[in-house]
Amino acid sequence: MGIMAAWLKGFAPFAAMVMVECLDIVSTTMSKAAMTKGINHFAFVVYTNALATIIFLPIFICHRKKTPTPLTFSLLSKFFLLSFVGITLVQNCAFAGISYSSPTLESALSSLAPAFTFILAVFFKMEKLDLRNRKGMMKVMGTVVSIAGALIITIYKGPAILALLSQSGQNTYSTNSASVSMILGATNNWVFGGLILVVGSLCFSIWNIGQAAILERYPSEITILFYYFFFGTIQCALLTLIVGEGSSVWALTPNIELISVLYSGIFGSVVPFSVITWCIKKKGPVFTAMFQPLGIAIAAFLSSIFLGEALYIGSVIGAVLIVIGFYGVIWSQSVEGKDETHGLVDGLQSVSPQSPLLES
């Protein structure tokens, strides 16, 4: 029983992160289907974050009663900026990019976040870069390879290699002028959507660094999360009022649109954050980051089955390069973490075989 309990305890974070990736990709796939039906992506972001705010409100109230930590204007301003970057910019870029391209492209380009985070961390001197050792070179090479993969997947579409359930050959090439115009238009949308997703990935990296800085000064995750969703809802509502075309932009029909909003608010925002936070405490940030490329395969499968979208050779080549670069950066960070741990141990002390994180 003890061995089985220990095995289940070790397996639980792995299963939880696979579940998070599946929930996230289902959320993006459903949002694409909802936007295809006509829901405005700006209003979609407002609805999902408003739902997340409502869900976290009672949790936040109970938490404040138990731990009434002070909230200053400076701290609230930082929460506001965190919401602006993480929701108003990142989520709107993500859903706008998906509306022009596909969940598969969004999942692939989101793996650029570690490379962008590394570049920003070096720029702000939060991370040291030493090109004289293998770890520093691997970080640079991984970053360059990831960016090259993003350029390929965005600019080069190529022929379709998987087009399950595609409607009336919409993803096949034709020789007549009407089909050529459709292809050119779809390609332009694909590139434009890809560029928006790259911007969103960059903003996510900025948010990641900002969130880490705030957590160091105010380690109350529930409070941060509540204000994150609350301020994000207000900002996106104002943005929708500015860029929206009348009251019709808020239309929400009780079909896939409503289902997608409910799903994304609960399983695309609330549940993933809670699970990822738990996994980080159990296994560390490197463990959770390693599952991100898994979403590419899941997204490709679900998009082909439920949206009838093709999988293009450019997406495959670019995704492979992004994953290679991604794991290059993650590997170098993991090695650095091991080196720091070794530095705390007496050099004469042998490393225990029961501590796999300390093994080279």
Residue 47 has pLDDT above 90, yes or no: yes
| pTM score | 0.72
Q: What is the pLDDT of residue 360?
A: 34
Strand pairing partners for 162? 311
- Pick from 14-28, 78-92, 163-177 the range whose average pLDDT is largest: 78-92
SS percent in the chain: helix, strand, coil, step 5: 80, 0, 20
pLDDT in tens, 223-272: 888 999 999 999 999 999 998 777 888 988 888 899 999 999 999 888 88
CA dihedral 306, 308, 314, 319 (to 10 degrees): 0
Overall average pLDDT of the 19-23 stretch: 87
Distance from CA of residue 268 to its chain's centroid?
10
Residue 7 has pLDDT above 80, yes or no: no
Q: What is the pLDDT of residue 143?
A: 80
Q: What is the pLDDT of residue 263?
A: 93
- If phi over 0 gives left and psi between -120 and 50 gives alpha, with beta otherwise, what is residue 309? beta
* Lowest-confidence segment of 147-151, 197-201, 267-271 by average pLDDT: 147-151
Q: What is the mean pLDDT of the chain?
A: 77
d(CA 204, CA 148): 19
pLDDT in tens, 88-115: 999 999 888 888 887 778 877 877 777 7
Residue 173 has pLDDT above 60, yes or no: no
| Share above pLDDT 90 across residues of the chain, in percent, rounded to a whole number | 18
Cα distances (angstroms) measured from residue 120 to each of 108, 204, 286:
20, 11, 18
The DSSP element (H or E) to which 1 belongs, if any, is none
Distance from CA of residue 135 to its chain's centroid?
25
Q: Are 339 and 175 in contact (CB under 8 A)?
A: no
pLDDT in tens, 108-143: 787 777 778 778 877 877 667 777 778 788 878 888
262 HSE (CA, 13 A, CB side): 8
Q: What is the pLDDT of residue 80?
A: 96
